[in-house]
Amino acid sequence: MSQSFEAVVLPYLDAGYSLARWLTHGRGDAEDVVQEALVRALTYFPGFRGDNARGWFLQIVRNAAYASLSLNRGVPLADEPPDAENLADPADDPEAALLRRRGRADLARHIAELEVELRETLILREFEDLSYKEIAQITGAPIGTVMSRLWRARRSLAAVIRREEQEA
């Protein structure tokens, strides 16, 4: 292998952290998961064959997250949602900025409440822009299951949003 560990893995560190945040619900736990994933990736790097480094590393992050106790504790999202944009658009007035931020926070909260299998599939597809095939490789699920999970995640989010709009 002619590429270094740093050249192969470090470009995907942010994606790994984002996935870990969504799976574990917390910054500290996500940092621990990514650190463990980096150790595992370094350990298994000599066996890496050079195809799809992002998928390979995200699979390691996913496995490290599942191995952590925090994933199954049902820990509520204690800090800012992982991908909530905290900076206002300079063109927005303060009210529009507040509404946009609340909308993002609500969406992040709804995603965080999904079952973990649905949440990880949605995050890998919509936030990391992975193909169904890549998600199937990372999760170890058949492509049909990936498609079904993504459909169920989207349907669940839509139902929650519709219900909230009707209540408002």
Domain ranges of the chain: 1-75, 91-168
pLDDT at residue 49 in the model = 84
For domain 1-75, give the fold. Rna Polymerase Sigma Factor; Chain: A (1.10.1740)
- pLDDT per position as a tens digit, 2-35: 688 888 899 999 999 999 998 887 888 899 999 9
pLDDT at residue 168 in the model = 72
Residues written for the chain = 168
pLDDT at residue 106 in the model = 78
Distance of alpha carbon 7 from the chain centroid: 22
Tokens of 101: 């931020």
- Please state, in angstroms and rounded to a whole number, the distance separating the CA atoms of residues 83 and 105: 9
pLDDT at residue 83 in the model = 46
Query: How does the average pLDDT of the chain come out, rounded?
Result: 82
Q: Give 79: exposed, middle or buried? Use CB within 10 Å, 0-12, 13-18, 19+.
A: exposed
Q: Quick one: CATH architecture of 91-168?
A: Orthogonal Bundle (1.10)
pLDDT at residue 24 in the model = 85
Residue 143's pLDDT band (cuts 50, 70, 90): very high
Domains 1-75 and 91-168 share a fold: no
